[in-house]
Structure 1
Amino acid sequence: MEFKHVLYEVKDQVAYITLNNPAKRNPLNIETDAELEACLDLCDYDDNVRMLVIRGAGGNFCGGGDLNAMKARIDQGIRGTRPVCRALGQTIIRLRNVKKPTLAWIEGAIAGAGIALALACDFTLIDESSKATFAFVNIGFIPDSGSAYFLAKAVGTVRATDLLMSGRVFTGREGADWGMFTAAFPKEELEAGVQKYIKKYSNGPTVAYANVKTLLNRIQYSEYSLVSQSELELQGECELTHDFAEAVTAFLEKRKPDYQGR
């Protein structure tokens, strides 16, 4: 498969997936999602791969959903949210079930579904000055791609409610202090921190790691399919609102949206 939206390489028994649309902060859309899932299969079934690292190109991890694609659907009167949510939801849980240690290497901006992608990894190492936000509500949407599910598991309902309903920006350091990210580093120390994790987990007992992940997944994530279906239903409802179309248009026009609650 030829990849246009991601880069995939294996080096020293470590697979690297790089989201590769830096001009738009590496957004997630249905095309990128298909390539991500193909990369996950390559990684999972290659006995020469002992660990997976995911990062973004151009100094940012992932800006979340593709607002330009959303605006195009709005202008054409197309309802495309449910297929995108379904695809992203499946890829997120596919990542969670990769039978190798997985690590998100987070620099710069990370938002929305991009945070879900990171939280599905075993380890999340972030630049402490990175800016993060669950921006779904800012475009009249609910969290999708398992964002609410993974976030609530990590930080609890009270903190998750604050972050998801406010859509506010927080730093990598704050996220790590809340238990959302594994560790936060000063920018100049992040790569060294990543390399330490790579050295440890790419040379460890791979079968034991896989079984630990399976055990944790059965304990923590067995309800994911129900949550994913709920996302499809609720996001589909949000897609039909005036507020969604207005918020996306306002964002791209760099103005404040006029919400009407309908």
Structure 2
Amino acid sequence: MSQFDTLRFELENGIARISLNRPDAAHSLNLQMAQELAQAAILCDSNSDVRAVVLTANGKMFCAGGDVQSFHQAGDEAPQLIKEITANLHAANSRFARMRAPLIVAVNGTAAGAGFSLAMSGDIVLASEKAKFTMAYTGIAVSPDGGSTTWLPRLVGLRRAQELIYTNRVLSAAEALDWGLLTKVVADEDLATETDKIAAQLAAGPTEAYARARALLLSSYENGLECQLEQESRGISHCVGSADGQEGLAAFVERRKPSFKGE
């Protein structure tokens, strides 16, 4: 059901699969891909049938970052082009962060620049053993985008974030896991299977509870304690009153496996 040129988009069994698809350009982010990512994120955010989202790429590369070739060709118009690209990329980032469904990122190869930023945005981040990670931005004299200056310090701490941004150190998958950037590293040949397994598990889960948990985690760094406690109270109260909440309580009391509908 893909309607895009630079992405593949499929929705089946509650799982939306977005695959970056510019293999001849190492899946680098140009204006069209940024626009299509924003559109795909809106589809995921707007469709109640979507209960888990997978973001990955086709082939052996995840994302080389921004399409530097197009930036260079834009000449004096490059600043305007970058504003258009980031406006769309950041709209996608925001939708992915605030949608109901959890986001699983499967990093199948090198993730550089904006590719690294996209990888960090997942709730669950899986990587193949051959995956590599580098910020890369300052290597071409630009500053980071894609939400990386929010996610990176949260995940690895300020000092390590500074090192990655200023030196463009390349992390192996094992190092990225050790630093807290990943959920799990799997063998290259097992990445798709492991991703499908987790996506199916989340798609069968209590989507509204996931949505409330995602929102709470997103606000946890900006809210004071009492504000966060109030949001937690409202969130759990809402969930208990939902159809899935009632099913979860009944299944627990009746000692059976719950059947969640995402409602």
Q: What is the deviation of 1:129?
A: 2.0
Cα contact 1:29–1:65 (8 A) shared by 2: yes
Q: Please show how residues 5-154 of structure 1 align to structure 2 within 5 Å.
A: 5-74=6-75, 76=76, 78-80=78-80, 81-154=82-155
Cα contact 1:16–1:52 (8 A) shared by 2: yes
Looking at structure 2, the residues matched to 78 and 183 of structure 1 have their Cα atoms a distance apart, in angstroms, of: 37
Q: CA RMSD in A?
A: 1.7
Deviations 1:151-199 (A, max 9, x none): 1111001111111111121111211111011111121332232122112
Q: Please show how residues 192-211 of structure 1 align to structure 2 within 5 Å.
A: 192-211=193-212
Cα contact 1:64–1:112 (8 A) shared by 2: yes
SS in 2 for 1:83: helix
Identity of aligned residues (%): 31
Moved segments of 4+, more than 4 Å: none
Cα contact 2:9–2:16 (8 A) shared by 1: yes
Looking at structure 1, the residues matched to 54 and 200 of structure 2 have their Cα atoms a distance apart, in angstroms, of: 12
Q: Please show how residues 214-233 of structure 1 align to structure 2 within 5 Å.
A: 214-220=215-221
Q: What is the deviation of 1:77?
A: 5.2
* 1:204–1:163 CA distance, 2 compared to 1 (3 A): same
Deviations 1:17-60 (A, max 9, x none): 11110111111122111111111121222222211101111221
Looking at structure 1, the residues matched to 56 and 72 of structure 2 have their Cα atoms a distance apart, in angstroms, of: 26
Correspondence for 1:180: 181
Q: Indicate whether 1:158 and 2:140 are aligned.
A: no
Looking at structure 2, the residues matched to 124 and 16 of structure 1 have their Cα atoms a distance apart, in angstroms, of: 14
Q: What is the deviation of 1:87?
A: 2.8
Looking at structure 2, the residues matched to 90 and 40 of structure 1 have their Cα atoms a distance apart, in angstroms, of: 8
Deviations 1:218-262 (A, max 9, x none): 11378xxxxxxxxxxxxxxxxxxxxxxxxxxxxxxxxxxxxxxxx
TM-score of the two chains, using structure 1 as the length reference? 0.79
Structure 2 spans left out of the alignment, 5+ residues: 224-263
Structure 1 spans left out of the alignment, 5+ residues: 223-262
Bigger Rg, which one: 2
